[in-house]
Amino acid sequence: MRGILTATGVVLVAALLYAGSCVVWPFGDCWVCSGTGHHRSASARRLSRPCRWCKAAGKRLRLGRRAWNRARRLHRDITR
């Protein structure tokens, strides 16, 4: 029983830390271009094109921040 409570506490603390980091740092590096904004071709070393996932910005909205924004929008629409 004590192990279950400890595991629950650890998971809760980890979730709170992740939520806090999403508030402080809402954007992370794009996973496709590694934050450069350009996607390199596998066949040619120099050929690159703008990254279509981040639209050449190099940053993407983190999953936790996206969920927070959606929850806020849903709450706002319900309360109107």
Q: Is 33 exposed, middle or buried (0-12, 13-18, 19+ CB in 10 A)?
A: buried
Is this structure's pTM higher than 0.85?
no
* Spans in the chain with pLDDT lower than 70: 44-47
| Three-class DSSP category at 40 | strand
Q: Torsion over CA of 56, 58, 64 and 68, rounded to 10 degrees?
A: -50
The fraction of the chain above a pLDDT of 90, given in percent, is 70
Structural contact between residues 3 and 13, judged by C-beta atoms closer than 8 angstroms = no
HSE-CB for 37 with a 13 A CA cutoff: 4
